[in-house]
Amino acid sequence: MRSDRTSAARSWTVLSCLAVLQFFIAVDVTVVNIALPSIGAELGAGPRELTWVVVAYTIAGGGLLMLGGRLGDVFGRRRVLLVGTAVFGGASLLAGVANSFAVLVVTRLLQGVGEALALPAAMATIVLLFPEGPRRSRALSVWAAIASCGLVLGFVLSGVITEFLGWRWIFLIAVPFVVFVLVTTVILIPADRSRERAPLDVLGSLLLTCAPLLFAFGVVEAGGDGGTPSWVPAVALVGALVAGLLFFAVERRATNPLIPLAFFRNRSRVLANLATALLSATLSTSFLLFTFQLQDRLGLSPLQAGLMLLPLAVSLVLAVTVVPRLLGSWGARGCALVGIGFAALGMVVIGAAAHLGAPAPMLIPAMVLIAAGMGFGIVGLQYAAVTGVTDEDAGVASGVQRAADQLGGATGVTVYVGVGFTPSVLGSSPYLLSCGLALVGLLGAAAVAGRIRIGR
């Protein structure tokens, strides 16, 4: 009995330590938003270029996520967890001392690499520490709650840190906590056992990452001020298309593919992931538009802007709490369509507020609608994306869904904000144009989600 209590206490101690890493990885998705104007002012980057600070992290993390999970299976979860955490912490330190915008973008890419290595290994460690049943359910609930808190608190922390310490500290503050995670991992988690090495689909992972990176580069540079030769964006966009086609060709022939082609035979899962990408594109765009509007248009300080985003944070927590209770009666498709509708209304309010020059409080309804869209839409689509999974494909289904979320959000920011804030089209309101593009994407998301067919 005492041995069981000791084992349980050790498992919860490991969970608590790894939760620190999960928190800061989640924080890094949103913490840069309020700091973007300050970063741009110091490093000489405009709104269009600043999208790279967001998308570099999410593209690298989303594109390499499934390879990171596979590396943990092959080389040992503890070893990969240590490497990924060290990469994430080192990149955070370099981001905090970056002396140019290009260096900052590279460090954000490295942070994404660290996330892709560390997060799947940490998740797998927790799953194996807790036996299936109530204990594992409680552990995974805590893990998910930590991630949600990190995403939500990122907005507020960004405002507080940027206001009182400067934007560099939004990266530097994670470094001592990362060191803590490295030390506790070495102490608490046993060394990996030797295991049989299986082939890795490294080429597939690189192509899955290069395609959205080249696409983002092409879109951003196509709307530049003429400093880049006109052929460069065209080559980048063609390269993105080629990388995407090669990815599917490689997956068809790989002995151990990143995404088995059998995955695409489940129509509802494919539709759910496509709708997730389209919805995430709008949600990520809305976060940037809130930041630019509150600070650039309305002149709020970072602290004031962070506090103004509290209604978004509170509404998101409430929505995520309510939606699971409605899945049984509404179904995954119903929740997804309601979420997409909320997001569309939110973008309309953002565009109208920007066009009319409305004061900051007028954005609160938009924040509530966007939070509801995220809560209802993403949760409903997540449920649809993993419906009917088995032990053999559960990991693939979860990894694809998370990758669709991150890569969709990054691509949406690139297109909607990158095109909307392009100097050549600034004769119209960049906010209206960005919102209009997002609404077109949401129409596509609704059309796709409406074709999902699963039981309640």
Residue with tokens 């009666």: 329
Q: Average pLDDT in the 438-450 region?
A: 93
Per-residue pLDDT, 266: 78
**Given a cut of 50, is residue 425 above it in pLDDT?**
yes
* DSSP assignment of 365-429: HHHHHHHHHIIIIIHHHHHHHTTT--TTTHHHHHHHHHHHHHHHHHHHIIIIIHHHT-GGGTTS-
Q: Give the chain's mean pLDDT.
A: 81
Nearest to residue 385, comparing CAs of 403, 411, 369? 403
Q: Average pLDDT in the 116-127 region?
A: 81
**Given a cut of 80, is residue 131 above it in pLDDT?**
no
For 177-215, letters b (16+ CB in 10 Å) and e give: ebeebbebbeebbeeeeeeeeeebbeebbbbbbbbbbbb
Q: Do domains 1-197 and 265-456 have the same CATH topology?
A: yes
Q: Average pLDDT in the 234-241 region?
A: 87
Q: Is the dihedral of CA 236, 237, 239, 243 positive or negative?
A: positive
Per-residue pLDDT, 134: 66
* 1-51: pLDDT as tens digits: 445 555 677 788 888 888 888 888 878 777 787 888 889 889 888 777 787
Q: In the chain, what are the domain boundaries?
A: 1-197, 201-255, 265-456
For 385-395, letters b (16+ CB in 10 Å) and e give: bbbeeeeebeb
Q: Is the dihedral of CA 380, 282, 448, 272 positive or negative?
A: negative
Per-residue pLDDT, 95: 94
Give 83's pLDDT tier (boundaries 50, 70, 90). Answer: very high
**Given a cut of 70, is residue 215 above it in pLDDT?**
yes
Give 438's pLDDT tier (boundaries 50, 70, 90). Answer: very high
265-456 fold: Growth Hormone; Chain: A; (1.20.1250)
| Distance of alpha carbon 297 from alpha carbon 295, whole angstroms | 6
**Given a cut of 60, is residue 391 above it in pLDDT?**
no
Give 70's pLDDT tier (boundaries 50, 70, 90). Answer: confident
Q: Which residue has the higher pLDDT, 69 or 333?
A: 333
Per-residue pLDDT, 104: 94
Q: Average pLDDT in the 45-73 region?
A: 80
* 292-346: pLDDT as tens digits: 888 878 888 888 888 888 888 788 878 877 877 787 778 888 888 999 999 999 9
Nearest to residue 375, comparing CAs of 452, 314, 456, 445? 314
Per-residue pLDDT, 1: 46
For residue 204, the SS3 value is helix
**Given a cut of 60, is residue 455 above it in pLDDT?**
no
1-197 fold: Growth Hormone; Chain: A; (1.20.1250)
The pTM score is: 0.79
